[in-house]
Structure 1
């Protein structure tokens, strides 16, 4: 149960971002941590680079990159 309609809308956005991360093989915690830290410094024209399907973690060249999941993404049962 969510406390209010506004809280429900915020939760829906967060859940959507988390699932988009999983579908793109991205660690949701690494994604949200990075994006929350960068969003204030990102121009409006470049905001699309922070979407899960465009996002590249700062350590993208590092084989131990925390932004990539080492487990298979969650796939909902049909």
Structure 2
């Protein structure tokens, strides 16, 4: 099982590094590149640079609140 855990960890690290590199290039470097440069066709419009992380954060916060609510309800039922 140790080899499978290492493989999953390596895969998650590679995916995270790829997303971080893409987002960093998209937000920090791309605004300084000319608008008619060919590299712009590989990236979404700049409006999505804020919209996507905010949406993901709101979804994560909602799921976390739902999870905490279920745990609280379950622990309340055990006491009663």
Please state which band the TM-score falls in when normalised by the shorter chain: 0.3 to 0.5
Larger relative CO (CA 8 A, sep 6+): 1 or 2? 1
- Larger helix proportion, structure 1 or 2? 2
- The structure having more radius of gyration, on CA atoms, is 2
